Structure 1
Amino acid sequence: MPSMNPIEIPELANLVASYLEFKDFARCVLVSKSWWGMLLPHQWRVISVGLVRLETLGSLDELRWQGPHLDQLYRHRHLIRTLVLTDSAGLDKFDYPNLTRLRIDLSPCQERRISLDFTKACPSLVHLVLVNVVIASGTWMALSKHLLIKKLHLRGLAVEAVDTPVFWKACVKLESLTLERLHIKGGGIPKDMVFDRLRNLDMEGNYGMDYAENMNLVLQSPMLQSLKWEEYLSRGVETPLTRRPNQSNYCKLYIDLDIHDADLAFMLLGTGGELGTIVDLRLGYSCYPKTQALKALGLHFGTLVRVDLSRCFWVSGSTVLDILCSCPMLEVFHANSVFVMDIAEREPWICQQLRDLKICIQVVEAERDLQQLVFERLSTLVRLEMLEMRVPEGPSGGKDVLAFRLDCGLRQLASLQQLTTLSFDQWNREDIYMPQIEKDEVSWMLNNWKNLKIVAGRLNKNLELDASLRSIIESHGIGSSFSTLNDTLPF
Structure 2
Amino acid sequence: MTNARDVEPFWSLCTKLESIHMAATTIATCDSKLANLLFPNTQSLELRLLGCDGNLDQFDLIRLFPRLEELKCYSSFRDRSLGKFAQVIAQDSWPSLEKLSLGYGATDENVSPILEGVQRITSLDLSDCHFGPRSFQALQRHFSTLVELSFRECSGVQGEVFQKIMCLSPRLEILKCNKIPANDVVNGEQWVCLSLKTLQVCFRFGRGDQYLQHLVFERLATLVHLECLDIGNYSFYQENPILEPLDLRLRSGLGTLSSLTNIKFLSFYGTEQALETNEALWMLENWKNLQTVSGELNRNGTVKNTLVGILQACEVRVRE
TM-score by length of structure 1 reads 0.58
- Aligned pairs (5 A) from 1:82-101: none
Residues 371-413 of structure 1: CA deviation (Å, up to 9, x unaligned): 1110110101111111122126222211100111212111111
Alignment pair present for 1:225 and 2:74: no
Alignment pair present for 1:142 and 2:14: no
Q: Which amino acid aligns with 2:46?
A: D
Q: Decide whether aligned partners of structure 1 residues 231 and 387 sit closer, same or farther in structure 2, where only a CA change above 3 A counts.
A: same
Mark the runs of 5 or more structure 1 residues left unpaired by the alignment.
Answer: 1-133, 177-198, 483-491
Q: Which residue of structure 1 aligns with residue 31 of structure 2? A: 164
- Aligned pairs (5 A) from 1:460-471: 460-471=298-309
Larger radius of gyration: 1
Instruction: Measure the CA separation in 1 of the matches of 2:74 and 2:162.
Output: 22
Instruction: Measure the CA separation in 1 of the matches of 2:14 and 2:299.
Output: 62
Q: Per the alignment, in what secondary structure is the counterpart of residue 210 of structure 2? A: helix
Residue number among 257, 272, 279 corresponding to 1:441 in the alignment? 279
Please tell me whether the aligned partners of residues 149 and 176 of structure 2 are also in contact (alpha carbons under 8 angstroms).
Answer: yes
Aligned-CA RMSD value: 3.0
Number of aligned residues: 314
Please tell me whether the aligned partners of residues 419 and 449 of structure 1 are also in contact (alpha carbons under 8 angstroms).
Answer: yes
Q: Which residue of structure 1 aligns with residue 173 of structure 2? A: 331
- Aligned pairs (5 A) from 1:30-41: none
Q: Which residue of structure 2 aligns with residue 396 of structure 1? A: 239
Instruction: Measure the CA separation in 1 of the matches of 2:189 and 2:56.
Output: 41
Percent identity of paired positions between Structure 1 and Structure 2: 26
Question: Higher relative contact order at CA 8 Å, sep ≥6: structure 1 or structure 2?
Answer: 2
Q: Decide whether aligned partners of structure 1 residues 221 and 173 sit closer, same or farther in structure 2, where only a CA change above 3 A counts.
A: closer
- Aligned pairs (5 A) from 1:124-273: 134-143=1-10, 149-151=16-18, 152-155=20-23, 159-161=27-29, 163-170=30-37, 172-176=38-42, 199-208=43-52, 213-218=57-62, 223-232=67-76, 235=79, 242-244=86-88, 245-247=90-92, 248-249=94-95, 250-270=97-117, 272=119
Instruction: Measure the CA separation in 1 of the matches of 2:55 and 2:238.
Output: 34
Q: Per the alignment, in what secondary structure is the counterpart of residue 375 of structure 1? A: helix
Cα shift at 1:251? 1.4
Instruction: Measure the CA separation in 1 of the matches of 2:106 and 2:63.
Output: 14
Instruction: Measure the CA separation in 2 of the matches of 1:283 and 1:408.
Output: 33
Cα shift at 1:361? 0.7
Q: Which amino acid aligns with 2:300?
A: N
Cα shift at 1:221? 5.3
Q: Which residue of structure 1 aligns with residue 221 of structure 2? A: 379
Please tell me whether the aligned partners of residues 235 and 258 of structure 1 are also in contact (alpha carbons under 8 angstroms).
Answer: no
Instruction: Measure the CA separation in 2 of the matches of 1:233 and 1:421.
Output: 35
Instruction: Measure the CA separation in 2 of the matches of 1:333 and 1:453.
Output: 20
Please tell me whether the aligned partners of residues 26 and 52 of structure 2 are also in contact (alpha carbons under 8 angstroms).
Answer: no
Residue number among 313, 318, 343 corresponding to 2:160 in the alignment? 318
Runs ≥4 residues deviating over 6 A: none
Cα shift at 1:298? 1.0
Cα shift at 1:319? 1.6
Q: Per the alignment, in what secondary structure is the counterpart of residue 138 of structure 1? A: helix
Cα shift at 1:144? 6.1
Q: Which residue of structure 2 aligns with residue 301 of structure 1? A: 143
Answer with 211-220 or 370-379: which moved more.
Answer: 211-220
Mark the runs of 5 or more structure 2 residues left unpaired by the alignment.
Answer: none
Q: Which residue of structure 2 aligns with residue 415 of structure 1? A: 259
Q: Which residue of structure 1 aligns with residue 208 of structure 2? A: 366
Q: Which amino acid aligns with 2:219?
A: R
- Aligned pairs (5 A) from 1:337-356: 337-356=179-198
Cα shift at 1:167? 2.5
Residue number among 293, 304, 312 corresponding to 1:455 in the alignment? 293
Q: Per the alignment, in what secondary structure is the counterpart of residue 145 of structure 2? A: coil
Q: Decide whether aligned partners of structure 1 residues 366 and 157 sit closer, same or farther in structure 2, where only a CA change above 3 A counts.
A: closer
